[in-house]
Every structure is written in C-alpha cells, then in structure tokens.
Amino acid sequence: MTWVGRSAARREDPRLLTGNGTFVDDIHLPRMLHAQFVRSTIANGTVTGVDLSGTLAVPGVVAAFTAADLEMGDITAVLERPPSEFVPTAMPVLARDRVRFVGEPIAIVLAEDPYSVEDGVEAAQVTYEAHPPVLGEEAALAPGAPLVHAAAAANTLVDVSMFATEGIDDIFAAAHRVVRVRSRTGRQNALPLETRGAVATWDAREEQLLVRTCTQVPHQVRTVVAGCLGLGERAVRVVVPDMGGGFGLKCVVGREEIAAAAAALRLRRPVKWIEDRRDALTASFLAREQRYDVCAAFDEDGRILALDADVVCDMGAYSCYPFTAGIEPLMASAELPGVYRVPAYRVRGRAITTNKAPSAPYRGVSRPQIVMVMERVFERAARELDLDPVEIRRRNLITEFPYTGINDVTYDPGSYLEALNLCERMLRDEGWYERKEQAAAEGRFLGIGYSCFNERTGYGSGAFAKRKMAVVPGFDLAQITMDLTGGVTVTTGTMSHGQSHETTLAQIAAGRLGLDLAQIKIHQGDTDRITYGFGTFASRSATIGGSAVARAATKLADRLLHLGAHLLETTPDDVELHDGHVRRRDGGGRALAYRELAEVAYLKANLLPKDAEPGLTATASFDVHGDGTFSNAAHGAVVELHPGTGRVEFLRYVCVEDCGVAINPQVVEGQCRGGIAQGIAGALFEEVTYDEQGEPLCASFIDYKVPTANEIPDIEIHHLETPCAFTESGAKGAGEGGTIGAPAAVLNAVNDALRPTGVELEDTPIRPETVQRAIGAYA
C-alpha cells in the first residue's frame, strides 16, 4: 500500500483531543520547585545592587540566585566572518552588571509553589544606573550613539556587502526606468500559544541533568546547557514533551532554561519554569523589524535589469544561538531576487543591536519581507510602465531549471509561472475583476493583489556553511528498530511541534517497509535516543528528516529481505516485502511474517546467516550539500477597504502551492492556511512597540492584536506538484510558504484598492488609521 500522498488521519490527535497530551507545564514531580525571574525594569543601564533579602523572607521562597551565585558560562553564537562583517556578543544566562532590555533576567527565584515565587520576584530590590536607550535604526546608527555592546561599533553586529555585479551602476544610469521601494516591517512575536518552559532535574543514579523543555532543537539545547554549566554532553539529557507550537521562537537556546537547570543542579531538586504571557510578549525572542531601501532598473518592456538593496534588521539586544544576529540580514541578502531573473545585483545587509528583546528566527525569516519588497518593485514598475502587474511578473519569472541566479543560488525545478497563471485565472473566472470595476463605479474600494514567490527548504550543511555559521546545521539522522512483534520504532532528530511528524514520518516508513501506520511508532525529542539532530525549523523535517527516515527504512527493508531469503532458502532478489511479510516473488512457498524474522533476529540467533548481526536495526543520515530545494506558490487576495473604520476585509483568498510530493495533503493544507494566517497577522495586525524609554508597550493580548477567526478568511488551496529530485520522497518543505507569501498579496491588494486615492503603502502592519486617512484625504 502506498502511504505517501494520502491524507492519513493524524496519530497525534486522540491524545491531544482528550486532554491527554503532556506539555511541559503538565509535568509534576515530587519536591519540585517553581522558578521565575527578577527582570530588568530599564532598557539600558548598569545594575548597581540586587537585594534579595525581601525575596528570601517571603513564605514559600526557598532560594534566589544572581549571576554571581551560579557559575554559568555565556551563550555566544558565532559566524566565521571577519570582524568587519560580524561582531560576536556574549549573552550571559543572568545579567551581570549590564542590562540591555526591559525584561532581561537578573535573578532566578525558587519557591514551593507558583504563587509564592511571584511574591518573591516582587519583593526583590534592584537598583540601576540608567543610560539612555538605543531604540531604533536612526538612533543606533547615529554618529556618537551610545553603544549597546562596547565591541559593536555603530551598534552594528553584522555588515555584509554581497554580489555587487560589475557595471551595476552603469546599468542603473542607462536604464529606461528606475523604481525605488522603501519599506519597513514591524517587530513581531512568533507567539506559540504555549509559552516557553522547562523542568530540570538532577538524576543522581544516571549522574545526569534531565531537562524537559519545549524546544525545536533538543540537541542544541543540550550542547549549550552542557557548555554553560561545565558538564559533559553525556551528563545532560534533553527531552521534549508535547509542544504547543514554536514557529522559530523555540529554535534558539534561551537563558531561562539554563538558569533553571543550574538551580536544579545546585539545589538537587526538580525546578520548573513556565514563562507567563507577559514575559513571552516582552522578554523572550522577537523578529521581523526590518527596513529596506531598494532600487530596481527596468527596460521599456518591463524586464528587470538590476537590483540594488540596502537592508537593516533591528535584532535587539543579543545574537541568538546558534543562528546569530545574521539570521535576518543574511537570509534577506542571499535570497532577495527570489523567483525572478535578475541579471545584476548588489546588496548591503546589516544587523543592528538595540535595547529591545533579542530576535530569533520566525517562520519565513526575512522572506515575508523580501517577497513583499520584490512584489512591490514589480507593482511599482507596472504602474510606471503602464503594464499589467501580472504580465510584468510573467516577463521576469524564472521558467527554465535548474537556474543559477545572480545571488549564486541554484534553484531546482518549480512551477512559478504555472502557479501565478492558475492563481490569476481563478480570480478572473470568479469575476473579481468585474466586481472590482463595479465597486469602483459605486465609489467602493475593492482591490486585487498577488504574490509570487519561492521558499528555499531543505537547508543542508551546504547552505548554512555558505552563511559561515560556526555551528553548521544541516544533516539529520534516523534510526529504525524492529521489535519482536514485527512493528518498528523510528527515532528521528527532528522535533514536531504541530507539524504532524508522528503521522507523516510514519507514512514514509510504512511505504518502504510494507507496514501499516499502527505498527510504527515515531520517537522524537530525546537526546539520549539518537546521536545528534538539528530538530525542526526552516521547513527541513519532511525534506531532510523524512529522507533520513526513508533511507533507514530502506536499509532495514534490505535486512529483512536478506534474512527472509535465507530462511526461505532462496536469494534476496527472489523475495519481496508485502503487508508485514517477506514472500517469494513467484508466489511459491510460505510468506514469513516480520515477527517470525524478528524472533530469529533476537531469540534464535543460531538460525541467522553466518555474516548477519543479531537484532533488526538500521540507521541512516541525510544532508543537502547543494542549495536545497525550492517550494513555490502564488497567492491571490481580494480585499475591500471600509472608509469609516479603515478595516481591510477579505472577500477572497486563494493559494496555488507546489511543495513537490505532498506526503499528507491535508497536513500540507494545514501548514498553508496556518502560515497565511500568520502572514496576514504581520500584514495587518501585529507589532511590538516600545515607548521612548524602551518600555515595551505590548505586554498583553490587549496591546498585541493576534487575529481571530473574525479576521482570518477562509482560504482555497490548489496543489501543483513538481517533485524534488533529491529528497527520498520527492517532497519539498511546506512549513513556511504561507507566511512568506501573504504579506505581499495583502499589501498589493490594499494598494490596488487605494489606487483611486493615489496613495501607495509600503510598510506593515497596515494600520486601520492609515487606510482611513488615505481614503479620507481622497474623499
């Protein structure tokens, strides 16, 4: 039976639907202490005193520690680039003397219950010498600006100039038309509904620190915990329970889980830390605050000739581990040209540091912005050259593959043109262009917007090495063991946090082994069970993790064939796997059930072939040495603007996506829809803001507007399939595309609706008052 390509029912669902999932906050251990943090109340300054006597006097409080009390190394993420391009910054687990953002942890408080610990935190007295905060690009780059990190001149952590095609200035000088797009995107919170958290325990018998935490990258957490606490890697075990989302925020190593682990080690008692929502909004990791200044040269037919970009990303107070503050500017700089044939390219990408909570990857990483900027470039050019906005894209799309771009990236085959054409045809066939004309005649503001983009997935060690990361993520491992009942346990280095890997990875293994899903258990998130892994981020799990599973399954299948052939007294070529059995291809003789093979492999090793090892286990790895595989999609949005309120109402949203072979189409659609919802959130609603003292203004869901079912429309999804040639199942990644494509489509639709007003918006989030003002001024 073929399992890949079926919308198999999710195996995660029964426990999650009955309240029987185990999330980190569901873990209760005897003698467990509860931890919370005394956090900086100022954005920039020096701590002159920490008085925890009041804290320790609170009933229920057991201990409180500052950096001086716990010996902990810093978290330092590194790019192997020259000092002119990258400045490393150390992030202490607890602030020592210097604090760099409101919410930075200064001391950990431990108490018998979660209420007392809050009282303890409140009773702490911290005194500061406050310095003026650095709160934005202008302030950070101003001559003589105060420095967030002494080593980072001009508050710049990353500064790279790349590509610089020879003669690019001449191309601009001679071009028929040059268009310029300047765009800003707001700071956002990835906002998994489950906040961060950890339960750390010292296991005296194993002489091992057990850290149960909701992370996308268990092995990286192990490495940093071991490093900061001076333990051997083998003395730390990271186990991940059920996870309530991550979206990138949980693919970096945080400080709080390390402090909790240090406290557990010191006190020899289990320590639980569960981040509350206020800390999650103000003091965890943020993303997306970027500024683009882009010029593009065009010929008279609307063909792009050159692209020149300046990108500045506000990464907040520290570099995240392992990606560094380069995560956003390096992604933006490498991938800006996107799906278009750009003959000449120059980019400067910078990461600046400011007195705000630090940045981590967030679903899509810079690609929501670069797609938005490129799609704005083409919309602008279409207006100035009086071309149809879809037609100008068609003239510039990459249509022949493999294609090596000016950005030194090779794109594997995709369906860029087909997706855009289908998307446009759907909206035309449904009559939206006529409805738009009619609305305009009635003085209503209806607009149609598109985005056309690709999404690099399957970033292997080749792609991350190009970025010059000191820690090069990329490969992953899978191990499959058949047990005595003839079923298998698949252990993977990837870490599902909503993506349904217990279902999709089992589908991959099932097909190769001739097993039913019910006979396959997926095990993930335990650093003691697999050598190493890079977890789940950057749409890598189906491509890389899934390919490792497929290879391990193939190896195990091969062992079953050999053993079966031996026991059936024939050759491996003459037998096949079918429905949990090894049988002769010619149909002769008896079929051997897997449990019969397993019985020989484990309990009757005397019957094994002479050269065969006992047991039935296979391990395999997978990596991508080239540039990865590119999913692609086109989005079409139809919006109507409401003059009175400035509301952007969706009338239609369609997505044509191509992620190669969809292992489970229903899961792919779920990723698309959820991704689009987050893209819409960034386009219209969410922005983390600060006051002039660096005080975060979004400390609750009242200040940070997360869209609900009233704001997110129904989305129709169509699938195209351009299989990936080098992943084992033909799959490309599907985790981020929705988020990447939505802001551009929404912004273009809003601008199309605003066309009569002459206003063109370039920044997100698009605030209702902006829309209202544009229409008001016109009316």
Q: Spell out a b/e string for 541-564, using b for 16 or more CB atoms within 10 Å of the CB, else e.
A: bbbbbbbbbbbbbbbbbebbbbbb
Residue 134 pairs with which residues in a beta bridge?
A: none
- Taking CB under 8 A as the criterion, the residue among 3, 12, 136, 646 binding other proteins is 12
Question: Which positions from 229 to 248 touch other proteins by CB under 8 A, shown as an x/- string?
Answer: -------------xxxx-x-
Query: Binding segment for other proteins among 17-25, 298-306, 531-539, 546-554 (CB under 8 A)?
Result: 17-25
**Shortest CB 276 distance to other proteins, Å:** 6
**Shortest CB 72 distance to other proteins, Å:** 28
**Shortest CB 686 distance to other proteins, Å:** 11
Q: Which two tokens stand for residue 461?
A: 């060690």
Q: Which residue has the tokens 């957490």?
A: 221
**Shortest CB 652 distance to other proteins, Å:** 13
- Taking CB under 8 A as the criterion, the residue among 138, 206, 276, 388 binding other proteins is 276
Question: Which positions from 726 to 755 touch other proteins by CB under 8 A, shown as an x/- string?
Answer: ------------x-----------------
Query: Binding segment for other proteins among 193-201, 385-393, 538-546, 633-641 (CB under 8 A)?
Result: 193-201
- Taking CB under 8 A as the criterion, the residue among 500, 527, 541, 547 binding other proteins is 500
Cα(660)–Cα(413) distance, rounded to whole angstroms?
A: 10
Residue 271's φ and ψ, nearest 5 degrees, are -125, 125
Residue 610's φ and ψ, nearest 5 degrees, are -55, -40
**Shortest CB 273 distance to other proteins, Å:** 14
Query: Binding segment for other proteins among 418-426, 496-504, 548-556, 631-639 (CB under 8 A)?
Result: 496-504
Cα(766)–Cα(743) distance, rounded to whole angstroms?
A: 10
Cα dihedral sign for 184, 189, 192, 198? positive
- Taking CB under 8 A as the criterion, the residue among 5, 21, 73, 146 binding other proteins is 21
Q: Specify the residue, 41 or 666, whose C-beta has the smaller distance to other proteins.
A: 666
- Taking CB under 8 A as the criterion, the residue among 700, 756, 776, 777 binding other proteins is 700
Question: What contacts 123, CB < 8 A, 6 or more positions away?
Answer: 54, 55, 57, 58
**Shortest CB 260 distance to other proteins, Å:** 18
Residue 30 near other proteins by CB under 8 A: no
Q: Which two tokens stand for residue 124?
A: 């702490």
Q: Nearest 10 degrees: CA dihedral of 229, 235, 241, 245?
A: 40
Q: Specify the residue, 705 or 773, whose C-beta has the smaller distance to other proteins.
A: 705
**Shortest CB 715 distance to other proteins, Å:** 6
Nearest to 474 by CA among 632, 333, 626: 626
Amino acid in the structure at residue 83: P
Cα(240)–Cα(495) distance, rounded to whole angstroms?
A: 8
CA distances to 80, 183, 589 from 303, in Å:
37, 22, 67
Residue 143 near other proteins by CB under 8 A: no
- Taking CB under 8 A as the criterion, the residue among 3, 4, 8, 25 binding other proteins is 25
Residue 28 near other proteins by CB under 8 A: yes
Residue 678 near other proteins by CB under 8 A: yes
Phi-psi region of 657 (alpha: psi -120 to 50; beta: other; left: phi over 0): beta
Residue 115 near other proteins by CB under 8 A: yes
- Taking CB under 8 A as the criterion, the residue among 6, 277, 348, 595 binding other proteins is 277
Residue 35 pairs with which residues in a beta bridge?
A: 110, 273
Q: Which residue has the tokens 């500064």?
A: 159
- Taking CB under 8 A as the criterion, the residue among 64, 240, 490, 676 binding other proteins is 676
Residue 6 near other proteins by CB under 8 A: no
Residue 19 near other proteins by CB under 8 A: yes
- Count of C-beta atoms within a 10 Å radius of residue 66: 19
- Taking CB under 8 A as the criterion, the residue among 669, 686, 728, 752 binding other proteins is 669
Query: Binding segment for other proteins among 156-164, 463-471, 498-506, 510-518 (CB under 8 A)?
Result: 498-506
Q: Are 429 and 488 in contact (CB under 8 A)?
A: no
Q: Specify the residue, 190 or 426, whose C-beta has the smaller distance to other proteins.
A: 190
Residue 391 near other proteins by CB under 8 A: no
| CA 130 centroid distance within chain | 35
Q: Are 638 and 650 in contact (CB under 8 A)?
A: yes
Q: Are 465 and 472 in contact (CB under 8 A)?
A: yes
Residue 227 near other proteins by CB under 8 A: no
**Shortest CB 14 distance to other proteins, Å:** 7
Residue 13 near other proteins by CB under 8 A: yes
Residue 527 near other proteins by CB under 8 A: no
**Shortest CB 412 distance to other proteins, Å:** 28
Write out the DSSP string of 218-282: HHHHHHHHHHHHT--GGGEEEE--B----TTTTSS--SHHHHHHHHHHHHTS-EEEE--HHHHHH
Write out the DSSP string of 52-73: -HHHHHSTTEEEEEETTTS--P
Residue 701 near other proteins by CB under 8 A: yes
* N-to-C CA span, the chain: 63
**Shortest CB 56 distance to other proteins, Å:** 17
Cα(767)–Cα(762) distance, rounded to whole angstroms?
A: 12
**Shortest CB 255 distance to other proteins, Å:** 22
Query: Binding segment for other proteins among 94-102, 135-143, 381-389, 697-705 (CB under 8 A)?
Result: 697-705
Residue 667 near other proteins by CB under 8 A: yes
Residue 132 near other proteins by CB under 8 A: no
Q: Specify the residue, 197 or 414, whose C-beta has the smaller distance to other proteins.
A: 197
Cα(576)–Cα(112) distance, rounded to whole angstroms?
A: 60
Question: What contacts 700, CB < 8 A, 6 or more positions away?
Answer: 277, 278, 281
**Shortest CB 21 distance to other proteins, Å:** 6
Residue 114 near other proteins by CB under 8 A: yes
List contacts with other proteins (CB under 8 A): 9-10, 12-14, 16-23, 25-26, 28, 59, 114-115, 191-195, 242-245, 247, 276-277, 497-500, 666-667, 669-670, 673-678, 700-702, 706, 708-712, 714-715, 738
